[in-house]
Chains A and B, each alone.
Chain A
Amino acid sequence: MNILEIKNVTKKFGDFIAVDNMSLTVAEGEIFGFLGTNGAGKSTTINMIAGLLRANAGEIKILGKNISKHSHFAKKNIGIVPQDIAIYEDLTAYENVKFFAGLYGLRGSQLHERVEEALKFVGLSDKHKSYPKGFSGGMKRRLNIACAIAHRPKLIIMDEPTVGIDPQSRNYILNSVKKLNEMGCTIIYTSHYMEEVEEICSRIAIIDHGKIIAEGTKEQLKAIITNTKDVWIEIKPMETIDLNKIQSISGVKAVQMEENLIKVSSDISVNNLNTIIQCLINDKVEIRSLKEQSPNLETVFLTLTGRSLRDH
């Protein structure tokens, strides 16, 4: 079942079209990557999903229900982790999570349990009586997440949750995202760190000028810009080597040799690495290292939008 359906949604600010007839679906259980440069329409879309902005046209459904007609239902099922940390510095970690969870109707022992659970999940149980003033950037970001998950939303929208934090906290947050997903949450994840999106997202949409310009799995996106992958094989220097044998392997498009490096270009959809290695071993060629090179998400993004995410 689709947890989120966006159908022909348009949002204008005066004459400026921020989101232009966008359609998108996110299935339950996905970690959905949402990529776009600043001003591409990503934040406007997320604001509309969160119920903070109204679309000028089209409809947005959460779990099959239109959010403009069932705003309360939609909001109860969504948790927002904003890019800017939105917590009260003069309330303790516990009080922060308790207050925001209380807005979703939780009370009494159930509220207490959920707050403790959320703080434990983000690794701040031992800091529950501490004020965020004394927290590091990573701890504040984790508290920011705890405030969004205590009411156990089915859909969690995370916007740049790892901006400006140390690698340890970043790793903790990425693992938390995976764990939340394993627990049944659907995640919409935006980040300027392509390697993060590549690591955790099962499906990705790229938005530019208010429109979805590409959507699919990582492999599908990469296939849009190229159908070739390269394998670089470092061998022990030899006098002669028969490259025709490799050339004849299924899927291989071209073979080149420069000093002791063999470059084999193959069709991206064919898995022929084992056959290539076996061929070299049979010819008594000593393999010293091996490197596969296929286009990464950044290359895909650059090719499709013509701009780098970090430039914006």
Chain B
Amino acid sequence: MQDVMWLVRHTLKKTFSNKKNILLYFGTPLIGIIISLFVYSGSNEKNVHIGVVNNDPHYITNDTIHFIKGLEHLSVTNIKKSEIDDQITSGKLDCVLVFHQGFSKSVEQGRPGHLQIVSIHGAEITGFVKSYLYHYINNISALGKIANGDERTFWQMYERYQQSPFRTSVHPLKDTSKNIGMTYQTIGYLLMIMLFSAGSLAEMIVREKENRTYFRLLSAPINGNKYILSNIIVNMIVMTGQIMITLVMMDQVFHIKTNIAFWQMAAILMLFSLVAIGIAFITVAFANSSASAGAMQNLIVVPTCMLSGCFWPADIMPTFVQKIANFLPQRWALDALLKLQQGHSFGSLYLNLLIILAFALIFFLVSAYKFGRNNNVNNFV
């Protein structure tokens, strides 16, 4: 085992003596976190810009505008009627509320009208503005109906309504969907980076063959199995580092709450690292040069990551694509993490774990078979 560790030390030293590789192997997993942060940042806090044209200067109209101004995630600007088209088409405003003359009177009489909403965004924006506005105006117009044209009675009820003595306490529920989405996306990117890292480290085997050092190694008291084992160990060390850095950074620095126990997430990712090594060995076993190994890795890793939902949720993909994804190991790793986030116990995920392990086993067997048939020592001496 000492000779294997000698090889491991050599490979690690040789790889990381180039400082760029430290950044490449341990910095890139953080890109996944940053991308998901970027994608999900402020997605629930979009501000809607509303313009108001007040052609009915009355206390009911003024209070209605005041009510709108008090709503969260809305910014309200007073504009002139002539500015509507410019402001809407230039995108400065999402919609404009035009209070025509007679609006207050119509509300007071219990028949609200003389209000116009102008927007080019459609229901996406106008829907929730309408909803709040209708709710408020309906309440006022209900007072008008009860007052039945008696201005004094309406005024008294309106005053009390505006100064409502009761208060409601608000306990907002935290939206965990954002954290779940960020976790999913970060881990999706991490899986891809793990696959590329394993590919790059395994590619060293081909490079050693190309510069003939592989055969000098094998003429020493080291056999092929020990050499491959040392590469697996190096791969595991690097990928363990990537997993730990990503998980710690997610939790401690970026405060992304994954809703999964640290060890459970680490265990699934470590299991996946075996798959990553298996895929990398297959490309190396079938490639006859480092360039072709790199090309094969790109051809395998990127499409399978896309199909299995590493970059976006698998649910949004067509059904037949989702069925194809079932034949990809990334899908099962991501599915296991999603199930853990949904509250499944780790033990109940045995099927996912067994499938991931089976993928790793198949990849290792195929590459071992191919390595065994590669008698490529010709021209060494």
Query: Which residues from chain A sit less than 8 Å from chain B, CB to CB?
Result: 13, 43, 46-47, 50-53, 71-72, 75-76, 78, 80, 82-91, 99-100, 102-105, 147, 157, 159
CA distance A82 to B212 in the complex (A): 9
Q: Which of B55-95 contact A (CB under 8 A)?
A: none
Contact, CB under 8 Å: A50 / B219: yes
Contact, CB under 8 Å: A53 / B377: yes
Instruction: Answer whether residue B257 sits at the interface, using C-beta atoms and an 8 A cutoff.
Output: no
A85-B212, A103-B221, A104-B220 known, 16 other contacts, Cβ within 8 Å: A46-B381, A47-B380, A50-B219, A50-B380, A50-B381, A72-B221, A83-B381, A84-B380, A86-B215, A88-B14, A89-B211, A90-B18, A91-B14, A102-B10, A103-B6, A105-B221
* Complex partner residue of A102 from B6, B14, B377, CB under 8 angstroms: B6
Query: Could you give 15 example pairs across A and B, Cβ below 8 Å?
Result: A43-B380, A43-B381, A50-B219, A50-B381, A52-B219, A75-B219, A76-B221, A78-B219, A84-B212, A85-B212, A90-B18, A103-B6, A103-B217, A103-B221, A104-B220
**Chain B residues within 8 Å of A51, by CB:** 218-219
CA distance A83 to B378 in the complex (A): 12
CA distance A159 to B10 in the complex (A): 26
* Complex partner residue of B213 from A50, A76, A87, A105, CB under 8 angstroms: A87
CA distance A72 to B226 in the complex (A): 13
Query: Which residues from chain B sit less than 8 Å from chain A, CB to CB?
Result: 2-3, 6-7, 10, 14, 17-18, 211-213, 215-223, 375, 377-381
Whether A82 touches B216, Cβ cut-off 8 Å, given contacts A47-B381, A50-B381, is yes
**Chain A residues within 8 Å of B222, by CB:** 103
CA distance A46 to B212 in the complex (A): 15
**Chain B residues within 8 Å of A85, by CB:** 212
Contact, CB under 8 Å: A52 / B215: yes
- In this complex, what residue of A is CB-closest to B7? A103
- In this complex, what residue of B is CB-closest to A80? B219
Q: How many Å from the CB of A14 to the closest CB on chain B?
A: 11
* Complex partner residue of B216 from A43, A91, A147, CB under 8 angstroms: A147
**Chain A residues within 8 Å of B220, by CB:** 75, 100, 103-104
CA distance A103 to B214 in the complex (A): 12
Q: How many Å from the CB of A304 to the closest CB on chain B?
A: 23
Contact, CB under 8 Å: A90 / B3: no
CA distance A84 to B213 in the complex (A): 10
CA distance A90 to B211 in the complex (A): 12
CA distance A29 to B97 in the complex (A): 104
**Chain A residues within 8 Å of B3, by CB:** 103, 105
**Chain A residues within 8 Å of B17, by CB:** 90
Contact, CB under 8 Å: A99 / B219: no
- In this complex, what residue of A is CB-closest to B214? A86
Q: Which 7 A-B pairs have the closest CB atoms?
A: A103-B220, A86-B212, A86-B216, A159-B381, A50-B219, A52-B377, A75-B221
- In this complex, what residue of A is CB-closest to B18? A90
Q: How many Å from the CB of A16 to the closest CB on chain B?
A: 12
**Chain A residues within 8 Å of B213, by CB:** 86-88
- In this complex, what residue of B is CB-closest to A87? B213
Contact, CB under 8 Å: B378 / A80: no
Q: How many Å from the CB of A135 to the closest CB on chain B?
A: 15
CA distance A52 to B212 in the complex (A): 13
Contact, CB under 8 Å: B380 / A82: yes
**Chain A residues within 8 Å of B375, by CB:** 13, 53
Q: How many Å from the CB of A19 to the closest CB on chain B?
A: 13
CA distance A100 to B381 in the complex (A): 17
CA distance A220 to B279 in the complex (A): 58
Q: How many Å from the CB of B1 to the closest CB on chain A?
A: 12
**Chain A residues within 8 Å of B14, by CB:** 88, 90-91
Contact, CB under 8 Å: B215 / A82: yes
**Chain A residues within 8 Å of B18, by CB:** 90
- In this complex, what residue of A is CB-closest to B2? A105
**Chain B residues within 8 Å of A159, by CB:** 381
**Chain B residues within 8 Å of A104, by CB:** 220-221
Q: How many Å from the CB of B218 to the closest CB on chain A?
A: 6
**Chain B residues within 8 Å of A83, by CB:** 381
- In this complex, what residue of A is CB-closest to B218? A52
CA distance A87 to B212 in the complex (A): 8
**Chain B residues within 8 Å of A47, by CB:** 377, 380-381
* Complex partner residue of B380 from A52, A71, A91, A103, CB under 8 angstroms: A52
Q: How many Å from the CB of B204 to the closest CB on chain A?
A: 11
Q: How many Å from the CB of B152 to the closest CB on chain A?
A: 94
- In this complex, what residue of B is CB-closest to A103? B220
Q: How many Å from the CB of B84 to the closest CB on chain A?
A: 68
CA distance A80 to B179 in the complex (A): 58
**Chain B residues within 8 Å of A87, by CB:** 213
Q: How many Å from the CB of A48 to the closest CB on chain B?
A: 10
**Chain B residues within 8 Å of A80, by CB:** 216, 219, 381
- In this complex, what residue of A is CB-closest to B377? A52
CA distance A159 to B213 in the complex (A): 15
CA distance A50 to B378 in the complex (A): 13
**Chain A residues within 8 Å of B223, by CB:** 71
CA distance A85 to B6 in the complex (A): 22
- In this complex, what residue of B is CB-closest to A102? B6
Whether A157 touches B381, Cβ cut-off 8 Å, given contacts A82-B212, A86-B212, is yes
CA distance A103 to B375 in the complex (A): 22
- In this complex, what residue of B is CB-closest to A75? B221
Q: How many Å from the CB of A255 to the closest CB on chain B?
A: 49
CA distance A13 to B373 in the complex (A): 12
- In this complex, what residue of A is CB-closest to B379? A43
